[in-house]
Amino acid sequence: MIENILWLAVGLMVASSIIPRTLRVRKLVGGIGWGTFSIHWGYQPLHYLEIQDYANVLLTIVVTLFCLLVAYIMYREYKNGPLYIKNREVLHSKFSAQGEADSLDITSMLTSATALGALVYFPFANFTPLNTWIIGGVTSQILWVLQYFDIPAYMKDWNMITLNGYTVEIILACTAIESIALFMGLIGAVRAPFNRLAMAFIASVPVIYILNLIRDVFVVVAYGEQWFGADSFIIAHNYIAKAGSGIALFAISYVVIRILPELFGMIDGLWIIFSQELRSLLHRSGGD
């Protein structure tokens, strides 16, 4: 049931992205899509409560509220006209394309980015053949790198690598498909010349994939060689590898934004619109 809701949300976002900009119904369709998306995320805390992962409980609640806020803003845009950002100023439009060439339709950009990212990620997360294909492929590539450096690892199962009796299981999170989908969604949502889009893609997706293989190889070797004692896997995977991934993604984001400054405009525009809407909601609730 929840998977059907997910795909309905993604389908509505895709529809909103391809409906012509001059038709105000695209905002309504996008708003319904974000509202439906909030149902998917609102269900996730139940799973994380069962496994006592309270950090992700909080994170998914925040994402749910974010989706509801976007849905609310897009509904208001449907009723009153789209909001555009130009020079950090919110411009109100009555569905006219006049003067939009150098301004950004933030909620539509966000919807397109989310739709594209979801279309890249969720098939791998929900369809077994694709899930098995990408995990198995990454597992084989990790083993190839290890054997290239004469490290005596072997494949215990289709997604498990063993070194010195210590086995690491490769799961979807080990493939970097989440980060790849994120950057593909962001890059795909930007209206920019093809050469800059291609440069941003090359600077992010292949780099993320290669760095992820290096991360996975490090975890296997650190655990198999017991570099950090009994807690080698936890230290290598949960601390060192995650910290390294965070630094790498920050650096890649910086490079991509330098290539596509429109992305910074979208992020800055989100902050401006959300701040304005939240202040408006708080003011009205305080007035009531």
Residue positions annotated with a catalytic role: 174, 215
The DSSP-derived string for 175-198 is: GTHHHHHHHHHHHHH----HHHHH
SS3 199: helix
E strand or H helix at 200 = helix 194-224
Distance CA 151, CA 141 (A): 14
Name the pairing type of β-strands 89-92 and 166-169: unpaired
CA 39 – CA 43 distance, rounded (Å): 6
- Three-point CA angle 227, 232, 237, nearest 5°: 115
Angstrom distance (rounded) from CA 30 to CA 24: 10
Phi, psi of 156 (to 5 degrees): -75, -35
Q: What share of the chain is helix, strand, coil (3-state, %, to 5)?
A: 75, 5, 15
Q: What number of other Cβ atoms are within 10 A of residue 261's Cβ?
A: 11
CA 110 to chain centre: 11
Largest CA distance in the chain: 70
For 102, 143, 152, 174, 181, the CA distances from 209, given in Å and listed in that order, are: 34, 15, 24, 10, 11
